[in-house]
Structure 1
Amino acid sequence: MLTLYSYPRLFGVADNNGYGLKVYAFFKLAGVPFEHEHVFDASTAPRGQLPYIVDDGETVGDSETIIAHVIAKHLLTIDALLSPEQRRTNHLITRMLDDLYWVMSYSRWKDERFYPAFRDAFIAQHPQINAAGFEKAKAYNSQRYHFQGIGRYTPDQAYARGIADLQVLAEIVPAAGFVHGAAPTSCDAGIYGFVANIYYFPIPTPLKAFVDAHGNLVAHCERIHELVTGA
């Protein structure tokens, strides 16, 4: 049995991190049987990062590496019909989502307007994490943001970067169906992983305001959410 290890759920989303939710959604869309274990401390994970999987005793980290591994090992056809051009588009979207990740994370941990709501909601749903533990994580993330660079931006500068990414997604995501046609592919799982972690969080960040104002992003997110949760 394949087991996915990823961060905890929040606000009805199966993982409050875009990368873990991407893998979760991919497994659901591709019909891969798996168990899901939620982890709070990533220190023992490969490279100290979540998500990772254990597949018949083999440990694989990094969301894209996980998806490639599972496609190859389990002979999945979810992306089999994609053209070279579509695969290039997927690659570019994946790298753009890597950029969006930092702005999303910044909005939760760095921006003092929104951090308290995120902290309180998380602790309310996962009381085994206390306020002191959350402040420790906040300090750790502040260091990450500084060395990555986003921590040296003003909030307006940071959100401008994230909204530019979302604007491109809004121009790519169709009003009906999925990015590459009538059936979802791994690209849709990736977009859902990040957009759902904005859309379903009732915290009024500029990122959420942008998503809420774009009906195609909302509809795409809700379509994938229904497919992966049955709700």
Structure 2
Amino acid sequence: MIKLYTFPEAFGLRNVSPFCLRVEMALAHLGMEFEIALESDPGKSPKGKLPFIVDEGQTIADSELIFQHLDRKSGGALYGNLQPGEYGQGMAYTRLVDDHLYWLMVASRWLDDAWFVNVKKGFFSAFPFGLRTVIGGLARRQMRQTYVLHGLGKHSLEEQQGFARRDLAALEDALDGKTHLLGERLTVFDFSVVSLLSGLIDNQPATWISTIAQEYPGLRSYTERIQAEVGTYARLVP
């Protein structure tokens, strides 16, 4: 059985990380037997981040590398049915959400002074109060430095919000009435995009980017549709 290591619930989400959620969605879609192991310390991962899986004694970290492993294991069930051009389109959308929109989501949680109290509660509440404050402060400082090095952290909040709106508008335009990202059938790239969108739309309480995401009802409909089709949701559901 595959063991998937993922973060515990936080912010109204049973799966707070889009990278963890997309792997869970892929495993559910493939019908593979797996179990979830909750891990609050990403430092215990081989690469210092989540998710990672253990499959028949082999440990694989990073969602994209896990997808490659699952594709081989399933005989091409994730990538083998893609038509010419679909792989390129899908990877472009994935890079948009992973390398740009994701960091805007992170900043809306970690770097908003008014919202950071929820991060401390969600990620550091298990620590004693004094230690929680120290660890949270150090983690936040590191996050801020990373955001600046990325480049997005050099922009004003208003400019960051503009980036977010353009990213989300591009995704909504890409759907253009389609039921799925690349057409009328589910592909692995739906998992990558929906895992990020669900974290924006259903994040509680709302961050500034969650509020912006509500301006795109087509993306909410798409996100709900894919989660229902796979039977795997980011948010806490009854």
1:219 match: 221
Which of 171, 174, 190 is the matching residue for 2:173?
171
Give CA-to-partner distance per residue, 1:17-49, whole Å, 9 cap, x none.
Answer: 121112112222222221111211111312212
- One-letter amino acid of the structure 2 residue matched with residue 222 of structure 1: E
Shift of the 117–128 alpha-carbon distance from structure 1 to 2, 3 Å rule, reads closer
**C-alpha separation in 2, matches of 1:162 and 1:129:** 33
- 1:55 maps to 55
Please state whether the residue corresponding to 1:35 is helix, strand or coil: strand
- Amino acid in the other structure paired with 2:126: Q
Q: Runs of 5+ in structure 2 lacking a partner?
A: none
SS in 2 for 1:68: helix
Partner Cα separation in structure 2 for residue 197 and residue 49 of structure 1: 18
Alignment partners' CA distance in 2, 1:204 and 1:195: 13
| Match runs of 1:2-21 below 5 Å | 2-21=2-21
Displacement of 1:64 in angstroms is 0.9
Query: Could you tell me how far 1:11 is from its partner in structure 2?
Result: 4.4
AA of the residue aligned to 1:41: D
Q: Which amino acid aligns with 2:181?
A: V
TM-score of the pair, normalised by structure 1 = 0.87
Sort the Cα spacing of 1:180 and 1:26 in 2 relative to 1 into closer, same or farther, 3 A. same
Higher mean displacement: 31-40 or 145-154: 145-154
Does the 8 Å CA contact 1:30/1:76 hold for their aligned counterparts?
A: no
Decide whether the 8 Å contact of 1:106 with 1:150 is kept in 2: no
TM-score (norm 2): 0.85
Which range moves more in the overlay, 43-52 or 176-185?
176-185
Provide the residue aligned with 2:103 in structure 1. 102
Write the deviation string for residues 140-165 of structure 1: whole angstroms up to 9, x where unpaired.
Answer: 32232233233322222222222221
Tell me if structure 1 keeps the 8 A contact 2:168–2:216: no
In structure 1, the partner of 2:198 is 196
Shift of 1:191: 0.9
Give the alignment's Cα RMSD to 1 decimal.
Answer: 2.3
Q: Is the 8 A contact 1:176 1:216 kept in 2?
A: no
CA distance in 1, matches of 2:144, 2:226: 32
Aligned 1:75-114 pairs, distance under 5 A: 75-98=75-98, 99-114=100-115
Paired with 2:231 and 2:178, the residues of 1 have a C-alpha distance of 17
Letter in 2 for 1:88: G
Q: How many residues align?
A: 228
For 1:207 and 1:79, locate their aligned partners in 2 and report how far apart those are by CA, in whole Å: 31
Q: Equivalents in 1 of 2:149, 2:21: separation in Å?
A: 25
Asked if the contact 2:11/2:205 (under 8 Å) is kept, the reply is no
Does the Cα contact within 8 Å between 2:53 and 2:61 map onto a contact in 1? yes
User: Could you tell me whether the CA contact under 8 Å between 1:175 and 1:219 is conserved in 2?
Assistant: no
